[in-house]
A and B are shown apart, each in its own frame.
Chain A
Amino acid sequence: MEVWEKVFVDDAEFAYSTHGEVGCVICHGGDSAAADKDTAHAGVVSDPSDVSCITCHSDVAHVNDLSLHTNLTGMISALEARGGDMSEGSELYTAFQNHCSSCHTTCGQCHVSRPEESGSGLVSGHEFRQTPSMQYNCIACHGSRIGDEYLGQNEGQPADVHWTQETMLCTDCHSVALHGSSTGATNRYDNPAVIQCEDCHADVLADTSDNPQHEQHLDDLSCQVCHAVAYKNCYSCHIALDEEGQPCRVSEPSVIQFEIGYNPIQSAERPYDFVVLRHVPTCTGTCDYYGTNLLPDFDAVSTWKYATPHNIQLDTPQNASCDACHTDIGIFLTEDDIRPEERAANEGVIITEFPEPVGE
C-alpha cells in the first residue's frame, strides 16, 4: 500500500457522518485552517484511540484497558510466570518493548485502519466499521496460525467447516469478549464471555443418545480433540542479529502437528482431562540477547499450551472409529515429542497412560 493510500479518504461524505461531524481536529489535533501541509499537521496524532474513543464510547472503552489486545497481559503474564522481571527498565522489559510490544492493537486499528503491525493504512476511506474486516484487521495479525487454519491454507489440511459451510466471520463468534474482561484476564481463556462450542451447539450436550462418542467423551475430551485436524506449531522464537548487526526476532520454520495432552488449565469452564496442545514460540533462550537467565523459572509453565485450532471438521482421522484414536500413539504428546531442554516444563501435559484399544 502506497503512503498516500494509507491516508486517502475516498468518500468525502465521511465529513457529514456522525464521526465526521465531530471534525478531524477534535480527535487528531493539527490545524484545520492552515494552508500548508506542515502547519496543518503540526501536533497531529495519527491514532488518537487512547484518548478520543472513550469520550463517547465509554460503555465499551472502559474495559478496553483490560483487553489482552490492548495491554498484552497474556504475553506479560506468561513471561512473569516463568520468573521474568518485567519491571520498567529491566533487561526483559527492554527486550519486550523492542521486539514484542508492537503486537497490540487499539480501537482505531480494528475499526478504522489496518493494525500498525501490518503496515497501517485506512481500510475503507475513514469509515468507522463496527465490525472489523476479517481480512484487513483480524487476519492481518492472526494470520499465520488461526487465519491459515480457518481458510485451509495449511498444506494438506482442510478449511474450517464454519467457513466452508457457513462463511462465518471471526466476529460472528468473537465479539464482546474482544473488548476485555472486567475481571482483568491473564490469558485468552480467562474470560467468562469467551465463546465456547456449546454456546451454539447446546443440542450436543442436551442429548447424546444418538452418538456413542459424545456419550462417552463429552466430559473428558475438549471438542477439538475429536473435531480439529493438524495445526501449526512454532518453535525457538529468539532475538538474533541480522546481516547489518541489528537485533531481530527469528524463529524456526513452523511445523504442522496434532498433539493431544493433559489439560494445563483445567477449570469448571474447561473441565476436560485431555485437550489439544499447541507449541508456543517461546524457548529457553528467547531473550538471551538482552541478558542471561532472563526467564529463571522457565519450567514453571508448559511450552505446549491449551489450544483451540480453527480447522474444525465433523469427520477427522481420529474420530473415524474408537481405535482410530485409541491405537494411534502418534497423536498423543509423549516425551519423545519434546525437546530435552523443555521436558521439565511439560511434565504436567505429557501423556503417560494411553487409552486401551476397544476393537471397534
Chain B
Amino acid sequence: MKRLALVLPALVLFVALAVLGCTNKGLVGPTPRADDTVVSSCVTCHSDKATLQEVASPEPEATTSAETTGEG
C-alpha cells in the first residue's frame, strides 16, 4: 500500500508533465523577446511597404554601359 501511495502521485505527475510537454503552444506564434523593440527597428521599416516606398532612394546610375550584353 505504501508503495502504491508513492507510485500513484509519481504517475500522475509524469502524465501531467507529458501532457504539458506535448502541447503546441510554442508553435502558434513567435515568442516575444525582451529586446523586441531593438529587433523590430530594422524589420519594422523593411516589412512596411508604404514606408519603404516613401523613403526609397533611386538606385545609383550604372557605371557600365547600358548596351553591355552577355548570354549566360
| Interface residue ranges, A against B (CB under 8 Å) | 2-4, 7-16, 20, 23-25, 30, 32-34, 37, 40, 98-99, 102-103, 117, 126, 141-147, 232, 234, 237, 242-244, 246-251, 254, 281
Contact = CB atoms under 8 A, between A and B. Distances in A.
Nearest to B56: A4
Contacts of A2: 53, 56
18 contacts: A4-B56, A8-B52, A9-B43, A9-B47, A12-B40, A15-B30, A15-B40, A30-B42, A40-B45, A99-B68, A237-B70, A246-B67, A248-B67, A248-B68, A248-B69, A249-B69, A251-B69, A251-B71
A317 B70 CA distance: 30
Given A3-B56, A8-B46, A237-B70, 7 more contacts: A4-B49, A15-B30, A16-B30, A24-B42, A103-B70, A141-B72, A242-B65
B58 interface: yes
Chain B facing A: main interface SS: loop
A32 B69 contact: no
Given A4-B53, A11-B47, A249 B71 contact: no
A8 B49 contact: yes
B24 interface: no
Contacts of A126: 46
Interface string B16-58: 0000000000000011010000111111011101001101111
Given A143-B72, A248-B68, A254-B71, A23 B56 contact: no
B30 A13 contact: yes
Contacts of A246: 64-65, 67
Nearest to B32: A16
Contacts of A141: 72
B31 to A, nearest CB: 7
B66 interface: yes
Contacts of B71: 144-145, 232, 234, 251, 254, 281
